Amino acid sequence: MKLGKHNSRVDEAISKAAAGVHLAVDKTAHASHSANHSIRDKGHQLLEAEKKWVKAGDRYIHRHPMLVLGAAVAAGFALCAVLRKSRPDTDYDEE
């Protein structure tokens, strides 16, 4: 009889552990589903925001082409100056 009583306790402990694990798995699945949904929504919002910014930029370029061209040229000169200053001094006229 002692063995039967011991087996029922083990079975009961295993059942409780299995129920706890099942609950933890369910909670994790629910949390991951919620996170997945939130990430998808945020991704959709970012795509929509990108479309708005691209449209706004396109309109601005079409309305002010010379200003945009001038800004691009100025940025190119500024970048060239920065890169030229960051280059180590070398003397190519060694004779």
Residue 7 is predicted with a pLDDT of 80
pTM, rounded to two decimals: 0.50
d(CA 24, CA 30): 10
Q: What is the dihedral of CA 74, 77, 82, 83, to 10 degrees?
A: 140
Q: Where are the domains of the chain?
A: 2-86
**Residue pLDDT tens, the chain, 95 long:** 455 667 888 888 899 889 899 999 999 999 999 999 999 999 999 999 999 999 999 999 999 999 999 999 999 999 999 999 887 766 555 55
For the chain, helix (H) and strand (E) counts, in that order, are: 2, 0
3-state secondary structure of 64: coil
Write the burial class of residue 44 (CB in 10 Å: 0-12 exposed, 13-18 middle, 19+ buried): exposed
